[in-house]
Amino acid sequence: MIIHHETRSKLLHEELTESVIGAAIEVHRALGPGLLESAYEECLCHELNLRGILFKRQVPLPVRYKGVNLDCGYRLDVVVDDKLVLELKCLEHILPVHDAQLLTYLKISGKRVGLILNFHVATLARGGIVRKVL
């Protein structure tokens, strides 16, 4: 008897991530590149709301240092369903420091999955999305 195992393992929070990426692509198609990050955040949150996806905006991110939570002014742009961190950008290119920033935010927040959504690209689906997992 041959037992077939699923060859493609399911990514952590894959369905949620795909839903959020779909919402971000919809926003980018409607607006295109060139606006401020705050405009994309506002529109993306509106789109998430229309799709019934739970989220919080500008979530405080205290830095835990030597057993104490310190308010250093950091905020997560959007946290979806208390699982997925969204870091919105409007940059020519995503640099390694932006990847590192998201990974640090994941570590500090205790979340496992994050997306960088760079709206300053011609096509969001090509070069505007970075997914990171801890």
Categorize the per-residue pLDDT at 2 as very low, low, confident or very high, splitting at 50, 70 and 90: very low
Task: Measure the CA–CA gap between 106 and 27, rounded to whole angstroms.
Answer: 24
The mean predicted confidence, pLDDT, of the chain is 90
Task: Measure the CA–CA gap between 120 and 101, rounded to whole angstroms.
Answer: 18
Categorize the per-residue pLDDT at 10 as very low, low, confident or very high, splitting at 50, 70 and 90: low
- Tell me the fold of 14-133: Trna Endonuclease; Chain: A, domain 1 (3.40.1350)
Categorize the per-residue pLDDT at 4 as very low, low, confident or very high, splitting at 50, 70 and 90: very low
Helix 14-31 × helix 37-50 angle, to 10°: 120
Whether pLDDT at 132 is above 80: yes
Whether pLDDT at 1 is above 50: no
Count of alpha carbons within 13 Å of 111, Cβ hemisphere only? 25
Domain boundaries, the chain: 14-133
| Alpha carbon 126 to chain centroid, angstroms | 16
Task: Measure the CA–CA gap between 48 and 74, rounded to whole angstroms.
Answer: 23
